[in-house]
Every structure is written in C-alpha cells, then in structure tokens.
A and B are shown apart, each in its own frame.
Chain A
C-alpha cells in the first residue's frame, strides 16, 4: 500500500526533478537536454499508466489508496492533499501523453533550449498539481503558478506578436483567478474555519445552500454569488463566450508544443474546475444556472464555428474550433445527466487528442512553409495540392480532421453523441441548434482541407518534404488513440463512470 500511495507524489514531482536536471546540464549540451527531457516525460507517462493499471474503476469518488495528505499550514488547516478519481484520471493520462509527445515535437526548437525545456517540464508539474489537488488552496496555488511558465513560453518562443498574446493571456486568467481567490476565502469562513475548510471534498454537497449575504441592503444567496465568481474564474480558462478573446491570440502566437498543451490540457482545466469545484460545492446554484451554462455552451459551439470558418490563418482556425468544441463540453456539463456528463468528460479527453494532432500537424507544416496562410492577405493561395506533395502528412491530417469533426468510428463522434443523448430531453431546442454547429464544424474543416490539400500544387509547396521519422513517431500514438477510442471507448468510459455517476446523483437532488 505504501508504494502505491506515493505514486501521485512521484507523478507530480518527476517533471520537477527534470527541471532541476535541465538546469544542471551545461547550456552547450543541447542534445543531452532534449534527451533528458524526453526520458523524464516518458517516465512520467509510464507512471501515469501504472496509476491507470492500479486504478479501481468500481470505486466512485476519490481512491483512498492513492491519497496523500500532509499538513502544510496547520494554523489555516491547509493541507498538501492529493488524490485521484475517475474524472481526473483521464486528464492525468492525457497530460502525461501530450507532454511526452510535445517534447519530441520540440526537438526543432533552437532558441534558449535550456530555458525552454526547464519551463516546459515545470509547466507539467503545475498541470499535474491542478488535477491532483484536493485542497482548494493548493489547487489555487498550482492554478496560478502555471501562468508563469506559460507566460514565458508564449512570450519568448512565440510568433511575431508574442508579447501582446502572453500579456493578454496572463492578465485574463489572473482576473478570473482573483475572483476565485475571493470565493475561496469566503468559503473558508462560510465553512466555519474548521479542519476541513479548504478541503475540496469536505466543502462539497450543498452545505452553503441556505446561506445569504447582505450587500448594500439587498440579500443575495451566498451560493449563487460565489458560484458566479468561480464560474468566471473557470470560464475564462475554458474559454466560454464572452471570455474567449485571449484564446486566438495565445494560440496563434504560442510555439507549436505550447499550443498543443494549451488546447489539449489547459482548456480542460476550466471544465475540470466545474466538475471538481464549482458543481459539487454549489450544487443548488449549478442547477439553477444550468440553463445559462447550456446557452453559453451553445453560443460557443455556433460562434466558434462561424469564427473558424472566417479565418485565413489555419492555426487560428483550429483555435476557434477549440472554442466550438469546448462548447460541446459545456453542453454536456449543463445536461447534468449521467450520459451527458460522461460525454463531457470523454469529450475533454478526445478533444485533447484530436486538437493536439491538429496543432502538431500545423506545426510540422509550419516548419516547412514558415507561414500558415490558407489564403494570404493579398488573396493568393498559401497552400495548394499538398495531397500530392506530402502523402503521409495528408493521411494523418485526414484522421485528425475527421476525429475533430466527429466522424463515426473516430473518437470525437462518441463523445459528441453521448453529449447530445444526454441533453436532448432537457434542452431539445439547444440540441437541435447545436447540431447545426456540428454541421458547421464539418464545413469549415472540409473547406480548409479543400483549399490546402487539393487543387494545383503551388510553386512554393513543391520543395516541401514529407514527415520524417521523428514526426511520425509523435503522431502515431495520437492516431492510435483517436482510432481506438473511436471504436472502443470503454477503457476511458469505465474509469470515469463511477465518479461521474456520484456527481450526477448529488446534483440530481437539487
């Protein structure tokens, strides 16, 4: 028991050991730094798989066997408390996988390699911290610390307009988290400052439904007010319309690997926050605001799709498609049914793999073309006839695109289908409207594909070389994931079922 109970610690801190290692390696030994980072993330990924193999799928809620609880600040009852359940496990495996592949895809980074890999591994530690934390204070610390490596990764290794994007990303997220901080401290007092007042688990279950607060003579419901605070904090991360405006900038400017992490993992932290914190702590308020969440999700789906359609920069197109796809997750959350929630968590995982593929592929293409225009600002074509030039690339691109579109047989289909099944009874109108979003999704992706891959080969594209072994190596695992989970999603679904069921049955009482 002792060995497995330290597993979370090992997963969380292995990347940090990697950071120290990178810092100790001399600057000139660039390949050693790369290999060290790769080996480190590979070990982490293996550890997450070990966690998966030891995970007991029948247990709803936190798995006691893995819990770590050490007092941190005793006078405030703040604990270093880690745990894992069926909702966080898929995210943890996704994190482990994507970071490893991203290190491989970052092989071509040449600027300040030492700093890049150190920050990247540090980012991984903070992401794991968010998914493991069972103490609200600890969660907040990881949630915030993550901004620092992200800021530098976008700001130093990004594209032309990187500084603006980095600052905007930082400020936006910080604004959301400050509201979350106020909510967290308010919860600390509302729960009576007891032993468990920062424990996410102990705060759950509608303890605060009847509390009210006085503000300028009007009486407000405590849970509704602070649900909104937490909602804004998480919604900025997802991002939910109208808090999404940081995302296109950050995505377009970020280097490939960082875009992958941003879309693949970081956006999920927002929805994970709903599942782990906002919904369980304020179940009454969540049910009360479910309609609003559903409508916002719908706006995300439709608006994101239309924005994506209008883009001439292929990376921006994929960035907006993320907005659209995260809208489906929000819809699944708003459903508050077992099917819908399962679909939402599965969509979080599947979007992580499919969008990561898209961003990686665009990164591969960018290394050859050094631009990302589908249509250049002067109206000429940016790409044309890639199909004949880059056959391997095209095949993988087709898989990624169809997965992202939700074609049956690939992963996106199952999660989206579950979401629609889950919400249909509650929000029939929204379901029908969201289906239009699905159609739009197919439209912009296929249109983009047509413009880039078909047609005459333009002069520039003739010099492009097809994917090399390294690039294939980091694309294949994702292809496998997308196909396998499209046909056989049970490995992921089984893990989450019990935990999601527990959450839904709690929400159902309100």
Chain B
C-alpha cells in the first residue's frame, strides 16, 4: 500500500484544491480596495473552488482505499463522503454569508477565507491515520475557528465568544496532547495502523495507562463535537458569533470530529476487551448526557439561534450513538444522519438569518405569523422542524431510524429509549416555533427583504432533499453502505 509522495499527491487533490482556493481568495481579496470588499466576484471564486473540491471528492468515491504520505492519511469512501458533507456545509455557509447582514461587508472575505481553512482542517481530520495529522487537523480547524467566532469586531459578545472558544480550545488541546503522549509511550508509535497492531498485545498494566490516556485523547475530539461535558463553550460561541458562522460551526467541525472519532473507534476499539468496554461505556454516558443536556437547555431559550445551537448539541449526541456501536451499521447511520442534518440545519439557519437581518434579533416572537406573510418559507421551516424532531415522512426520521437500528443491533435498549424520550422533548421546542409561525396572526405586515426570490429558492432547494430523503432513502443508504472505514 506504500505510495511515494508524488503518487500520493494524486489522491490528495481535494485537499490541495481547498488550500488553493484559500490562497487564491487571499490574493483576490488583496486586490480589492477597502470599500470594495465583500463584493460578488470573491463569492463566485469561492464557489468555483469549493464546487471543484466537491467534484474531486465525489470522483474518489467508490475507488479502492489508499494510504498516502507514508500511511499517515487514508483516503477511503468514508472520508470522501464526510468531506463532501463538509464541503456542502461550507458552500451553504458561504452563500449565507454573502446575503447576511450579520457579518460586515468588509469582513466577508475574511469569513470565506477562514471557512475554507477550517474546511481543510476538517478534511485532514476525516482521513487522519496518524496522531500528529489528527492533531494538526484539529488545530487547523480550531485556530481559524477562534478568529471566526470573534468576527463581529465591535461586538462584545463576539469577542467574548472568541476568547472563550480559544481558552477552552487551548485547554482541551493540551489535555489531548497529554493523552497522546502517554499513548505513544505505551504503544511506541503514532501511526494508527501500527498502534492497532501493538494494541492487541498489551497487558493489564498497560491497559490501566491506556484507558485514561484515551479519555484525555477523547477530550480533544469531544470538544470539537461539543458533547457534554465539553460543551460549555458552545452556546456562548454560537450566540456570540455572526449567524453564518454559527451555521458553519454547527456543521463542519462536528462532522469532522465525528469522522475522526469513527476512525479512531473502529481502529482501536473494535475488538472486545477491557478497552472496548471502557470506551463504549464512556461514549454511551457522554451520548446520553449530550442529548439530554442539549435538549433540556434548548427548551428555555428565547433566541432561535441559541435554540438551534443547543439542539445541535443534542443532535451530536444522537450521532455519537452511531459512533459508539462501533459497527458498519453505526457508520452508515452517522453518514446518513450527517447528510440529512446538513440540509436541515442549513435550511433552518437560512430562514433564521433572513428574519434576524430584518429585525436585528432572532427572538421567537419575530417568527409570529410568518405563514401569513411568507407561506413558502414558513412551510419550509415547519418541514425542517418536524424533520429535526424525527417525524416521518421527513429525512430526520429516517436518520433516527437508522441510529435505532444501529443501537438495537447491539441490543443497547436503554440508550434507544433515552434517545426516544429525547426526541419527544425536542419536539416540544421545535413545535414552539411552528406554533408561532402557523397558528398566530402576524404582528406586522412589513416585508422582509431577505426573502427575495433567490433566497427563497435557496431555502426551498435545501428543503427538497429533507423531504425526498425521507421517502426514497434507499440510494443514499446504499451509498453510505459502500463507504466503509478502511482498516488495514
């Protein structure tokens, strides 16, 4: 499987293209005068760059998995699919940024550039087969995210968000490195493949060191997924950041973290034993807590953005259950979940963003009577909310169904019931917004300029897959089935 560097590069095209896009954007941005910044051409260039990344990731689907750069990265269908989800998320966020007023015009180029950078980090994470690459991926992802969080320069909350994010991030990176160093000490390698081989021969004392070390290691990834107890930063960061950034944060870093976690779990913990029990046990508790805390906190929120932020925490808990079963079924369910989650989240954030641009905030009352002013948008948001709660015939239900199949295949009945009850809780706050939109008369008749024909078209385009994947999901599930994590 060894590939020399030049041959490796040919498999690395999507990442290279993403880097190129980023540098290209920096160059283009530099040619603009101060007052011209944030104009159309940059978005077009970003769009072309990202779409080409998407195309090349798609091209590598279904090919034989390869290990490149002396076995430190693995390009398999699984990583390519996850990359596609991340690229789509980035494209969605970039489009949102182009229309949103929440980011000042002259800062929009910065957002696009750094979002592309985060994407590169995420792509690295999803193929990392080496502790250091994984760490570099996380850091690339994080450091740029800190800047993104504080993108609203004059805003105190945004600065606070950036500071909080970087403090938490620095802390958890430190803990992660600490764990990694112990793992390296015991196993004598940083390459996943070699580590897995050594791992099968460890004795009890070594396991006693490895278990806590892996937990430290998990802290780093858990922080990116924003699972309890590493979630404290999330609501404040989501609240303080500009809306497109929040949409971006609730998709790309999460998907990247989950992809890394799936690879780590499948490489190290697939074999039954003390390590497997410890890892699965910890992840089960974390998943149950993440869902519950996310949902319960979302109930009391006044701001829709904050509500979506908390609900994204609980969805991360859901997806975590697909990870902890450590099976192909689980991987498949996470892929399906992240694809549907991508569309639902983007559609929801789009509508929220347009409303919040008009009123300056996104409190629940702002959505009152939306159905009578913009019926199409209200129906789309309703569909998305029902789908997020997991009601058929929308794709969110199918995603939950797959998580249940993965859980019950391993007979984790208690977790399944906890997940079910959480769906009911989540329905309560999703209904809150549906109720306001559909059942109440509008407070004002003012037009919302954000709902122009293009933006409405974008929302509808994002809602269609939510419905279609709920009814005809066989194609996607077959695709996800083919996307197995490559294990040597």
Seen from chain A, the residues whose Cβ lies within 8 Å of a Cβ on chain B are 73-75, 140-141, 144-145, 147-148, 151-152, 155-156, 162-163, 166-167, 170-171, 174-175, 178-179, 181-182, 185-186, 188-189, 213-216
Query: CB within 8 A of B409: which of A147, A163, A189?
Result: A189
Residues of A within 8 A of B397 (CB): 144
Q: Write the nearest CB–CB distance from A476 to chain B, whole angstroms.
A: 35
Q: Is the interface of B mostly helix, strand, loop or mixed?
A: helix
Query: CB within 8 A of A75: which of B386, B391, B416, B481?
Result: B481
A140–B392 CB distance below 8 A: yes
Encoded as 1 (CB less than 8 Å from any A CB) or 0, chain B from 379 to 411 comes to 000000010010111000100110011001101
Residues of B within 8 A of A148 (CB): 386, 391
In the bound complex, what is the Cα–Cα distance between A311 and B424 (angstroms)?
31
One of B119-127, B132-140, B197-205, B472-480 at the interface: B472-480
B413–A74 CB distance below 8 A: no
The residue of chain A having its C-beta at the shortest distance from the C-beta of B375 within the complex is A115
Query: CB within 8 A of B439: which of A145, A156, A214, A215?
Result: A156
Residues of B within 8 A of A144 (CB): 391-392, 397
Encoded as 1 (CB less than 8 Å from any A CB) or 0, chain B from 446 to 488 comes to 0000000000000000000000000001100110010000000
Question: Which of B389, B391, B411, B477 has the most C-beta atoms of chain A within 10 angstroms of its own C-beta?
Answer: B391
A167–B435 CB distance below 8 A: yes
In the bound complex, what is the Cα–Cα distance between A213 and B410 (angstroms)?
11
Query: CB within 8 A of A178: which of B414, B421, B434, B438?
Result: B421
Decide if B277 is an interface residue (CB 8 Å cutoff). Answer: no
A75–B478 CB distance below 8 A: yes
Q: Write the nearest CB–CB distance from A117 to chain B, whole angstroms.
A: 16
Residues of B within 8 A of A181 (CB): 400-401, 404, 420
In the bound complex, what is the Cα–Cα distance between A484 and B416 (angstroms)?
49
Interface size class of B (residues with CB under 8 A): 20 to 34
A215–B413 CB distance below 8 A: yes
Residues of A within 8 A of B414 (CB): 215-216
The residue of chain A having its C-beta at the shortest distance from the C-beta of B397 within the complex is A144
List the 5 closest pairs (A to B, CB-CB), nearest first: A178-B420, A141-B392, A185-B404, A155-B439, A175-B424
In the bound complex, what is the Cα–Cα distance between A337 and B424 (angstroms)?
37
In the bound complex, what is the Cα–Cα distance between A24 and B85 (angstroms)?
36
B428–A155 CB distance below 8 A: no
Q: Write the nearest CB–CB distance from B143 to chain A, whole angstroms.
A: 41
Query: CB within 8 A of B413: which of A140, A147, A151, A186?
Result: A186
A170–B431 CB distance below 8 A: yes
Decide if B345 is an interface residue (CB 8 Å cutoff). Answer: no
- Excluding A144-B392, A166-B435, 5 further A-B contacts by CB distance (< 8 Å) are A140-B392, A166-B439, A174-B424, A181-B401, A186-B408
7 pairs across A/B with beta carbons < 8 Å? Answer: A73-B477, A166-B439, A179-B417, A181-B420, A185-B408, A214-B411, A216-B414
Residues of A within 8 A of B420 (CB): 178-179, 181-182
Residues of A within 8 A of B424 (CB): 171, 174-175, 178
Residues of B within 8 A of A215 (CB): 413-414
The residue of chain B having its C-beta at the shortest distance from the C-beta of A178 within the complex is B420
In the bound complex, what is the Cα–Cα distance between A73 and B398 (angstroms)?
12
Encoded as 1 (CB less than 8 Å from any A CB) or 0, chain B from 432 to 449 comes to 001100110000000000
Residues of B within 8 A of A171 (CB): 424, 427-428, 431
Q: Write the nearest CB–CB distance from A28 to chain B, whole angstroms.
A: 16
Residues of A within 8 A of B417 (CB): 179, 182
A185–B392 CB distance below 8 A: no
Residues of A within 8 A of B473 (CB): 73
B405–A185 CB distance below 8 A: yes
Q: Write the nearest CB–CB distance from B193 to chain A, whole angstroms.
A: 31
Q: A140-B392, A182-B420, A189-B409 given as contacts; is B474 within 8 A of A167 (CB)?
A: no
Q: A148-B386, A178-B423, A182-B408 given as contacts; is B393 within 8 A of A141 (CB)?
A: yes
Residues of B within 8 A of A156 (CB): 438-439
B439–A162 CB distance below 8 A: yes
In the bound complex, what is the Cα–Cα distance between A152 and B391 (angstroms)?
15
Question: Which of A156, A185, A216 has the most C-beta atoms of chain B within 10 angstroms of its own C-beta?
Answer: A185
Residues of B within 8 A of A162 (CB): 439
In the bound complex, what is the Cα–Cα distance between A405 and B239 (angstroms)?
59
Residues of B within 8 A of A141 (CB): 392-393
A182–B413 CB distance below 8 A: yes
In the bound complex, what is the Cα–Cα distance between A163 and B436 (angstroms)?
10
Q: Write the nearest CB–CB distance from A66 to chain B, whole angstroms.
A: 24
Residues of B within 8 A of A214 (CB): 411
In the bound complex, what is the Cα–Cα distance between A175 and B401 (angstroms)?
15
